[in-house]
């Protein structure tokens, strides 16, 4: 059953560039359930990125509106969710997976199944607090295509695939694939125009996968910070409102970046392009924030709702982040202290 909730377990991930390792006690020995799950998720996310690029290359996005003109679903959303859920289901049948798309049951094309795992992740030690976790204890939140509207408009660097893993309501591990990382090389403007070219110039490596586990670190990118004293806010591109505007204005930013995708915004924080992600509005869902939150927290950042409350990711929780999102790599208190009371009053947790 590939509806919005599926039972499964096991994923994988891999270390590329070790960015930060905020370690507690670590367990070595044979790979734990969590590390096998992350390692699988890594390989599955890489396959998802390939599917996302293939749909663009084939030229038919299969766009449908879900609730409104800015809430879209494409063929890539559908295929990637089936791929992720089905691949996980085969390895971890006791896992709970909650995906964005509500899809009817159907036979799964074997080409969508990824049964590999990233061996480098299996070599990593599991933080001791997670060493005894069973697959039935875990909830996986899946956004098969974060930034769908931007995907349909050719703003492909906004797009990510998100696989977040939660334990006892807390996001503890996550994988983010950027299918079009590196695509905006000088020779690749034609991609934005035609959406037919799957390469970003002759020598570019297209796409990357970032992963992290709390207590271990985050990998696959180079951590950078915005220059000291600069306040650069990243926020929604397509879901602006008066509340969002009021909140950002109160923070007196030096610059405001309006981009798509929660995953993309968190990557801007960890790569020094923005100092705060501010979204003072309902609309963002748990599958948008679970994986990115882990990556941010693993390098010492902080993500909460507008009131400063931690987000909860147990399987019974409501999907909407109704009190918005506030996230920073550093200086969280600076931004949190400037959220207007009128904005807090309007956003009920």
Q: Which residues are identified as catalytic?
A: 77, 148
Q: Rounded CA gap, 162 and 284, in Å?
A: 13
Which residue in this structure is represented by tokens 């109160």? 250
Return the half-sphere exposure (C-beta side, CA atoms, 13 A cut-off) of residue 3: 4
List, in sequence order, the alpha helices (H) in 164-320. 189-194, 242-250, 262-270, 286-298
Q: Rounded CA gap, 124 and 36, in Å?
A: 10
φ and ψ at residue 153, rounded to 5 degrees: -100, 5
Strands (DSSP E) contained in 179-269 are 208-213, 217-219, 232-236, 255-259
> What token pair was written down for 139?
């909830």
List, in sequence order, the alpha helices (H) in the chain. 33-58, 75-91, 119-122, 148-152, 189-194, 242-250, 262-270, 286-298, 332-336, 341-346
Q: Rounded CA gap, 349 and 330, in Å?
A: 24
């Amino acid at each position: 059953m590939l509806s919005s909730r599926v039972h499964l377990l096991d994923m994988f991930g891999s270390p590329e560039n070790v960015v930060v390792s905020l370690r507690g006690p670590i367990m070595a020995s044979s790979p734990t359930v969590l590390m096998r799950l992350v390692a699988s998720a890594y390989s599955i996310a890489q396959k998802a990125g390939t599917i996302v690029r293939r749909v663009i290359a084939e030229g038919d996005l299969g766009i449908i509106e879900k609730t409104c003109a800015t809430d879209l679903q494409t063929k890539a959303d559908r295929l990637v969710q089936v791929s992720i859920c089905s691949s996980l289901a085969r390895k971890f049948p006791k896992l709970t997976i909650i995906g964005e798309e509500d899809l009817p049951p159907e036979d799964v094309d074997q080409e969508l199944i990824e049964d590999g795992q990233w061996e480098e992740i299996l070599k990593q030690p599991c933080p001791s607090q997670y060493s005894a976790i069973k697959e039935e204890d875990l909830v996986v939140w899946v956004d098969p295509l974060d930034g769908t509207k931007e995907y349909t408009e050719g703003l492909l660097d906004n797009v990510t695939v998100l696989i977040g893993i939660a334990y006892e309501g807390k996001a503890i591990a996550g994988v983010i694939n950027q299918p079009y990382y590196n695509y905006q090389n000088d020779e690749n403007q034609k991609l934005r125009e035609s959406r037919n070219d799957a390469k970003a110039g002759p020598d570019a490596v297209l796409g990357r996968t970032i992963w992290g586990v709390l207590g271990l670190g985050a990998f696959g990118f180079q951590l950078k910070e915005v220059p000291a004293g600069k306040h650069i806010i990243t926020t929604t591109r397509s879901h602006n409102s008066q509340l969002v505007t009021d909140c950002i204005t109160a923070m007196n930013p030096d610059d405001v970046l309006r981009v798509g995708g929660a995953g993309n915004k968190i990557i801007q924080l960890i790569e020094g392009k923005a100092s705060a992600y501010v979204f003072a509005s309902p609309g963002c869902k748990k599958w948008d924030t679970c994986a990115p939150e882990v990556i941010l927290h693993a390098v010492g950042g902080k993500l909460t709702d507008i009131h400063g409350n931690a987000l909860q990711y147990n399987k019974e929780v409501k999907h909407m982040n109704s009190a918005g999102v506030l996230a920073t790599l550093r200086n969280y208190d600076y931004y949190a202290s400037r959220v207007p009371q009128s904005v807090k009053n309007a956003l009920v947790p």
